Structure 1
Amino acid sequence: MAETAEEIKARKERERDELYALDISGVEWHSAPGTEEHEERVEIAYLPEGAVAMRSSLDPDTVLRYTEAEWRAFVLGARDGEFDLEPGAHNGGSPAEAGQE
Structure 2
Amino acid sequence: MILEEVYEIIKQRIKEKPEGSYVAKLTTDDKKTAINKICEKIGEESTELILAAKDDKKDEIIYEAADLIFHTMVLLAYKNIEFEELLKEFERRKK
Query: TM-score scaled to structure 1, two decimals?
Result: 0.34
Structure with greater proportional helix content = 2
Structure with greater proportional strand content = 1
Query: TM-score scaled to structure 2, two decimals?
Result: 0.35
Higher relative contact order (CA 8 A, sep 6+): 2
Kindly name which structure, 1 or 2, has the bigger radius of gyration based on alpha carbons: 1
